[in-house]
Amino acid sequence: MSDQSSHSRGTAPDPVIAARGLTRRYGATAVVDAIDFDIARGEVFGLLGPNGAGKTTTILMMLGLTEISSGEVNVLGFNPAREPLKVKRRVGYLPDAVGFYDQLTATENLAYTAKLMGLARAERARLIEAALSRVGLADVASKRVATFSRGMRQRLGLAEIIMKRAEIAILDEPTSGLDPQATLEFLGLIEELKAEGVTVLLSSHMLDQVQRICDRVALFKAGRIVLMGAVPELAVKVLGAGFVVEVEAEGPGIARRLAMIPGVTQVETLAADRFRMTAERDVRPDAARAVVAGDGALRRLSVDEPSLEAIYARYFQTEATGDVRHAA
């Protein structure tokens, strides 16, 4: 792997999912090619990458829904290829573009899966009701799913995971095709899950959302994990520095003062009163202090958080020019 630091992070406390050399081949082509990763309990882990990069296949292997060609994966201490029922009893899965039985109501759909999960009759009704109200579908519980919008179906899928009281929630492209409002609500629900201590595995190509809620991400490309770690770490590695701060201020010698702040690698002068600093950390407080100390008038101080989008774009760009490992 290209990524030592995230690796050391990954093997850290209490991994709930551990993959070693996990591979899935169709004929001669490896769709997932010897990937290793560890996911710690309670974290939100993002699987990123273009379509066909192997994200869904990886997920299906973790659930024992597709064969593992070689390598192994361990989910909550079980081998999904041999003990799929134990894994599937503890892991909730929301597939890409989840479907429900249109002729049944929301409650009936959940009741069917609740029975398949083997939930006792007595707690079924209570759990279904609680799950539906958690995701805000309580008032349409007895409506047929045929009338549901895409966002409501996704939330119903999440209700199923909540009802299951899953230790791990695996969400495959949960927000694709949702409108911004529905997306925000859905991300809120995922954060609630995290707050309850559920480990969330999220695959997506909506980079800004992933960045907002994921503790760590793994970037897939052609069946391999090419980058893995927390977003700021990746930013340092790929972009060279994590933070870009823009300062708008008037006063003498500001550019020089800004350049003297520890951690700043570069200061560009965009206009007479506008400067862009590149830094390894968030240097806004230091920048403000520097401007004020130099008797300058500070008008605006903004930071571009290290964006996953930039990392993603930069990574694939440098990759194209054949300069990967030394991008940092």
Q: Which residues are at the interface with another protein (CB under 8 A)?
A: 56-57, 60, 63, 65-66, 82-86, 88-89, 91-103, 112-113, 115-118, 157, 160
Residue type, 87: V
Q: Give the pairing of strands 91-94 and 168-172.
A: parallel
Smallest distance, another protein to C-beta of residue 88, A = 4
d(CA 101, CA 206): 28
Q: Which is nearer to another protein, 78 or 243 (CB)?
A: 78
CA dist list (Å): 210 to 34, 46, 74, 139, 265: 24, 6, 24, 30, 28
CA torsion, ordered 281, 285, 288, 294, to nearest 10 deg: -90
Q: Which is nearer to another protein, 3 or 172 (CB)?
A: 172
Q: Which is nearer to another protein, 135 or 244 (CB)?
A: 135
Smallest distance, another protein to C-beta of residue 116, A = 4
Smallest distance, another protein to C-beta of residue 56, A = 6
Helix (H, G, I), strand (E, B) or coil at 116: helix
d(CA 239, CA 161): 37
Beta-carbon contacts of residue 196 (< 8 Å; ≥ 6 apart): none
Smallest distance, another protein to C-beta of residue 102, A = 7
Cβ 147 vs Cβ 71: under 8 Å: no
Smallest distance, another protein to C-beta of residue 260, A = 56
Burial environment of residue 134 by CB neighbours within 10 A (0 to 12, 13 to 18, 19 or more): middle
Q: Which is nearer to another protein, 64 or 242 (CB)?
A: 64
Cβ 235 vs Cβ 211: under 8 Å: no
Q: Which is nearer to another protein, 157 or 242 (CB)?
A: 157
Smallest distance, another protein to C-beta of residue 287, A = 49
Smallest distance, another protein to C-beta of residue 164, A = 8
d(CA 198, CA 196): 6
- For the chain, what percentages of helix, strand and coil (3-state, to nearest 5) are there? 40, 30, 30
Q: Which is nearer to another protein, 75 or 235 (CB)?
A: 75
Q: Which is nearer to another protein, 103 or 265 (CB)?
A: 103
